[in-house]
Structure 1
Amino acid sequence: MRTSVRAMAAAAAAALLCLTPGAAHADPAASPDRCQQVSFPVPGGTLAATLCLPPDRPTDTVMVLMAGSNYNASYWDFGYAPETYNFRRAMNAAGYATLVADRLGNGASSRPTSMSLTATATAQALHDIVQALRHGLGGAQPFSKVVTGGHSLSSGTSVMEATNYHDVDGVLLTGYSHALNIPEVLGVISTYYQAVADPQFAGRGYDSGYLVTRPGARLHDFFGPDNVDPQVLAIDEATKETFSLTEYPDGLMSTLPGMSSLITAPTLIVNGSLDRLSCGPAYSICADAPALQAAEAPFFSPAARLRTFVLPGSGHSVNLARNTADYHAAVIDWMKSIVG
């Protein structure tokens, strides 16, 4: 397995380090909010992404946003009530470009065999995306500042990328901590079943290793029960996404002591106060931002300049809580402090 992962990573690097404006497909007709579709060649297929620029000003900063398991790009670019729930638009309005990418096997990206998917390969692809953005992607301007943003599993891949390559200017980790509530994690995993058994995915070519949440499980798994719009919950169920358990073993390594201490870029951790996965027993470490700071600071070096934010009443999916605008404001304040 170690050899095949190295080979996959090397192939991804070769594909993207040779990237030219012609090799990364970009739709020349940008949408009114200045977005274009981009695809990245990686072992196993292509990663689909959308690059969006601020509507009213130039910028030299881009945020690379990737959703974790159970979600696709719509987590960051939510279509319902976008003035409230759309993280991507909030960052664009604040003056930052965004690139929202789907992992392999997820969303609009290619769907290889489920057993081939690993967090290590995703971290390598994330690194190559960072480099492509710095050199000018698909004819777009080069960005001098790149910040990665992850949720849950993709927070793990952001940690892996930042510790291996030290090439980003900031790391946003959401739905992440070193105090995973293992019984709750196992409880959430018990709500997964094969995508081929789900009416939304049956007959679409998924192999038996692709999993999704069972219908009706997401309220318990990912939300604070009193902090969710019923329409958001319905759309979340309708847009739920597949993943493979093979992405978890190396991805969860980022939550063990040691790896995060190697991050040298400013880091912000955001959790909901009722995140049953990331907030330890009885939600103790997520009582408020100081409690989360005290719990997480020992795992980071001074170079990370760690900051924390807790969204009251939110579960694991902070982007979809009713009060998510407070989290947007906290991220924008942090971004101003690290990149201007």
Structure 2
Amino acid sequence: MKLAVPVFLALLAGLLVIPPASAADTVTPSNPPGSESASGAQCQGYFFPVEVNNKTYKVWGQLCTDDPATLAEQPIQVLIHGGTYNHAYFDWSYQPDRYNYVRYMTQRGFATLNLDRLGYGYSDHPPAVSLNFDVAANTLHQVVQHLRNGSVGTRFTKVVANGYSMGGLTAQVAAARYRDLDAIAVHAVGHGLLTPRSTARLGTLVQPALLDPKFRGQPYALDPGYLTSIPGQRTLFFGPPGTYDEAQLPVEERTKDIVGATELADITLKSYTDLTRNITVPVLWSPGRFDKIWCGTTDDCNTDPMTANEPNFYRPGVFTKYIVQNTGHGTLLGYGGQDYMANIVRWLDAHGIRGAA
């Protein structure tokens, strides 16, 4: 969200017509080189066809389970990453016993579908100007329908979404509009204006992807609407020293992805409205205590006014707040990440969504 990079650059992306990859009408298995899961679970990648503006694109997701024999009995968690991340956030390669969400959940009887959102990772990259949270929510809805309709060989009857940061906004919009999720978990995103301090921090975070050697040679990097984090700036996603392992930072740089400028602009439109009052299923809202982006008034979500106001954006009876201690904006990647995962299981169990025995 670098303020020095004019958002109007995103509009120029429309001049760079990047055609969608050909996509069949059916879900197709795909395990691209390098997509092996670090979770230790049994995993299969798929391309899901989605329609956006009368064009068909492919969204990649990796379905994982510890027990294929009971897959039909397992609730499935659809995992939705944030900006400048991809599916690697939930399938973390560094110390997977501690940080890998896919591993944790599959070992407890859940299936996971770990997505690369449209415009990220192995998924297709439309012009960045075409991406926003309406599109993201609609593509999530289409993927959920594939899961419920048995397009991957199993009809899933319990579908939960867990969205991180911009993925959390995606889950919120999808749950409010399409009503085909049984519950949503949202972390590292909230309602309310970003503070001047938060905005200043975000202003030093991103630059055009074309300027980063990591993305050199990628056709989508020619689209000026695709941005990425400036090398060395990803400490913004962590809490203060002592809440995370500094060995995480090289992994962050190695696995980082891009983000669309129009998606960044759309955060303002989607996170400051009461659309979430249309959600009728259980919602677990879990900021990391030391989130420097969403708790920028005090830098402590235990005391920040944003957290006190968050329940007012939901209808009575659906909202649960759980502030994850000892971590920052990258909730899963701080020392409190395991506490968060354990609470997800407790919360789902309390709402009758339990892993297969």
TM-score scaled by length of structure 2: 0.82
**Gap runs ≥5 in structure 1:** 1-14
Aligned counterpart in structure 2 of residue 243 of structure 1, from 240, 259, 281? 259
Q: Distance in 1 between matches of 2:193 and 2:108?
A: 32
Q: Distance in 1 between matches of 2:328 and 2:311?
A: 22
Partners of 2:301 and 2:323 within 8 A in 1: no
Cα distance change on mapping 1:230 and 1:285 into 2, 3 Å: closer
Partners of 2:42 and 2:66 within 8 A in 1: yes
Q: Distance in 1 between matches of 2:151 and 2:56?
A: 21
Q: Distance in 1 between matches of 2:130 and 2:350?
A: 39
* Alignment-derived partner of residue 85 in structure 1: 99
Deviations 1:142-198 (A, max 9, x none): 111111111111111111101101111101101011134332135314321011111
Q: Distance in 1 between matches of 2:281 and 2:306?
A: 19
Partners of 1:181 and 1:276 within 8 A in 2: no
Cα displacement (A) at 1:274: 0.8
* Alignment-derived partner of residue 153 in structure 1: 166
**Corresponding residue SS for 2:63:** strand
Partners of 1:271 and 1:286 within 8 A in 2: no
Q: Aligned partner of 1:158: which letter?
A: A
**Corresponding residue SS for 1:133:** helix
* Alignment-derived partner of residue 269 in structure 2: 253
* Alignment-derived partner of residue 6 in structure 1: none
Aligned counterpart in structure 2 of residue 211 of structure 1, from 223, 227, 230? 227
Partners of 1:159 and 1:254 within 8 A in 2: no
**Corresponding residue SS for 1:95:** coil
Q: Distance in 2 between matches of 1:303 and 1:136?
A: 31
Q: Distance in 2 between matches of 1:137 and 1:71?
A: 26
Q: Show the 5 A alignment for 1:184-333.
A: 184-205=198-219, 206-207=221-222, 208-219=224-235, 221-226=236-241, 227-283=243-299, 285-287=301-303, 294-304=308-318, 306-333=319-346
Q: Distance in 2 between matches of 1:115 and 1:293?
A: 31
- Larger mean CA deviation between 223-232 and 237-246 belongs to 223-232
Correspondence 1:162 to 2:145: no
* Alignment-derived partner of residue 7 in structure 1: none
* Alignment-derived partner of residue 37 in structure 1: 45
**Gap runs ≥5 in structure 2:** 1-21
Cα displacement (A) at 1:292: 7.4
Partners of 2:45 and 2:63 within 8 A in 1: yes
Cα distance change on mapping 1:230 and 1:50 into 2, 3 Å: same
Partners of 2:294 and 2:306 within 8 A in 1: no
Aligned counterpart in structure 1 of residue 28 of structure 2, from 21, 25, 30? 25
**Corresponding residue SS for 2:172:** helix
Aligned counterpart in structure 1 of residue 77 of structure 2, from 52, 60, 63? 63
Normalized per residue, which structure has more helix? 1
Aligned counterpart in structure 1 of residue 63 of structure 2, from 51, 65, 80? 51
TM-score scaled by length of structure 1: 0.86
Q: Distance in 1 between matches of 2:86 and 2:47?
A: 15
Q: Aligned partner of 2:130: which letter?
A: S
Cα distance change on mapping 1:121 and 1:271 into 2, 3 Å: same
Partners of 1:293 and 1:307 within 8 A in 2: no
Q: Distance in 2 between matches of 1:328 and 1:246?
A: 31
Partners of 2:140 and 2:174 within 8 A in 1: yes
Q: Distance in 2 between matches of 1:259 and 1:151?
A: 18
Q: Distance in 2 between matches of 1:122 and 1:230?
A: 32
Q: Aligned partner of 2:27: which letter?
A: A
Q: Aligned residues, how many?
A: 317
